[in-house]
Structure 1
Amino acid sequence: MTNGRLKARGARPGGQTIRRAVAVLRTLAIGGERGVPMAEIVQATSLTRPTVHRIVHVLIEEGIVERSDRTGNYAIGRQVPELALARPSRSPLLIAAEPHLAAASAQLGDTLFLTVRTGLDTLCVARRIGNYPIQVLSIEVGVRRPLGVSSAGVAILAAMPSAEARKIVLANETRFGAYRTDVATVLGQIQLARRRGYNLRDVGLVQGTKSLSAWIRAPDGQPTAAITLSAIRNRLNPRRAIEVADALVATARAIEAATPA
């Protein structure tokens, strides 16, 4: 079985190897500084172990991947941030969102996150810490997760047509196990978020927390991002959850209006 991301593309000479390498790199990006063991790379990409081993070691030779002598895990190499310096400009979405994130965080008092879709993943691109004494810092900027795992990912999928969302969820099926979820659970969460007009997660990624997300559409109408508030459970009781949802949805619409076409 090949990775869902690979199957979605048309065949092109030499393209399969490159796509497999990109799938490996995206998996390593999720591992961050901790890195990812070989077995998890194989599981996440649905490639054979010899194939993954060959790709990883070529990337190590090129300085794109590194292996930890202490843990044996593989991680994105230090040369990658150096390459990224060639494109240092921030996205129009991030520029448009910053004042609205600041205003919403000041109004609500809890930590807000801006998460964007990138392929089959979500990527946290901004975090605004609130002024309430207890803050939930559930995710760092730069952390990548499969679409459908986080509150933001479910919200983004809920804004898509059902068939498109289901296709992405099925493509990520092999990756869900590491996050203790499955296809049926994610599809159920998407349906509920679609009915509500936002996503409310009663059990956050951090024990004892809740999160609430509203999707953001690009100027072309495609769901491209989400704004998320994470808080300790007693901060999101049913009454306040409705108030927060209204504020987040309004903030999402303001970000959409401010994002240039």
Structure 2
Amino acid sequence: MTTPHAGTPERSLVDRALSVLSAFDRQNRTLTLSDISRRSGLPLATAHRIVNRLHSWGALERGEEGSYSIGLRLWETGTLAPRCSPLAEAALPHLMDLRARASAGALLMIRDGLEGVCLAIAWSGSGTPLCLPESGDRMPLHASAAGLVLLAHADDAVQNHVCESPLRVYTPTTPAHGAALRQALAKVRRDGYAVTHRTLDPDCASLSFPVRGAGRAVVAAVAVVAPADSFQPAKVAPLVSAAADAISQHARSSTLRPPRTTP
């Protein structure tokens, strides 16, 4: 009779716990136990046991009606991520100023593997485009201005992986092939910024500049997002550039790490 590896149960439990947490997303913030079981692929009894453990620690909160949501303790733990909290806090005043000056939504994005993650955002009020993401949202690198900036300055391995993979087409103007994407990335490096027009959402346009840390490595991107019909890149470019420079000053003086190379 063979004996299982001593680490197997612990790893299995971690994987199952992560699958429970991964069942929640922006469109599914509150789930019943049955929902969690279905979305995680775990048997109901297993999901119940793990949910109880996560609830007792504070990773999940239970509503009066019996459904669950992400708990405050998990959020508190997430704010300790060194690539997120300090940079987001430093960037927010500049994003708010950019929002007011550009009359557009302003955001800060970092790259995590093959995706962009929105760290901070400032809305422009009632005129904010519906396509503007929320803090914590993940966005495609190939279809957003901030994503193009981050991808253009990523390692060759990351660029090759994205360009050689199937590209999701969101609108008729989304880069659909690797050759077109490589041309777009070369233009970003040449111009120093990225502009997208109806590539992610048919009603939105965006412009983004890089945020540079130590050694001038690109660690994030600042972007404005506005209705495509009224977007004026020449007008907002100096404003976005100034905000990126201001945030870069903080990034250079901090211990912010560059994005990880592989997904």
Candidates 91, 102, 113, aligned match of 1:97: 91
Match of 2:168 in 1: 177
Residue 167 in structure 1 maps to residue 169 in structure 2: no
Q: Give the 5 Å matches for 1:29-48.
A: 32-34=26-28
Q: What's the TM-score, normalizing by structure 2?
A: 0.64
Report if the CA contact (8 A) 2:163-2:181 is conserved.
no
Report if the CA contact (8 A) 2:208-2:240 is conserved.
yes
- State the secondary structure of the residue aligned to 1:141: coil
Report if the CA contact (8 A) 2:211-2:245 is conserved.
yes
> How many corresponding residue pairs?
214
Give, in whole Å, the separation in 1 of the partners of 2:19 and 2:160.
Answer: 20
CA 81–191 in structure 1, closer or farther in 2 if over 3 Å, else same:
farther
Give, in whole Å, the separation in 1 of the partners of 2:28 and 2:247.
Answer: 33
Give, in whole Å, the separation in 2 of the partners of 1:215 and 1:103.
Answer: 17
Report if the CA contact (8 A) 1:151-1:201 is conserved.
yes
CA 192–19 in structure 1, closer or farther in 2 if over 3 Å, else same:
farther
CA 254–25 in structure 1, closer or farther in 2 if over 3 Å, else same:
farther
- State the secondary structure of the residue aligned to 2:136: coil
Aligned CA-pair RMSD? 3.9
Match of 1:84 in 2: 75
Q: Percent identity of the aligned residues?
A: 23
Report if the CA contact (8 A) 1:200-1:211 is conserved.
yes
The one-letter code of the counterpart of 2:124 is: G
CA 118–28 in structure 1, closer or farther in 2 if over 3 Å, else same:
farther
Give, in whole Å, the separation in 2 of the partners of 1:178 and 1:25.
Answer: 30
Give, in whole Å, the separation in 2 of the partners of 1:189 and 1:144.
Answer: 21
State the Cα distance separating 1:201 from its structure 2 match: 0.5
The one-letter code of the counterpart of 2:42 is: H
State the Cα distance separating 1:17 from its structure 2 match: 7.7
Give, in whole Å, the separation in 1 of the partners of 2:218 and 2:14.
Answer: 24
Report if the CA contact (8 A) 2:79-2:85 is conserved.
no
Residue 197 in structure 1 maps to residue 188 in structure 2: no
State the Cα distance separating 1:112 from its structure 2 match: 0.8
Residue 248 in structure 1 maps to residue 240 in structure 2: yes
Question: Unaligned 5+ residue runs, structure 1?
Answer: 1-12, 36-52, 67-76
Question: Unaligned 5+ residue runs, structure 2?
Answer: 1-6, 30-37, 61-67, 255-263
Match of 1:212 in 2: 207
Q: Highest Rg: 1 or 2?
A: 2
Match of 1:230 in 2: 225
The one-letter code of the counterpart of 1:257 is: Q
Give, in whole Å, the separation in 1 of the partners of 2:21 and 2:193.
Answer: 27
Report if the CA contact (8 A) 2:144-2:206 is conserved.
no
Q: What's the TM-score, normalizing by structure 1?
A: 0.65
The one-letter code of the counterpart of 2:217 is: Q
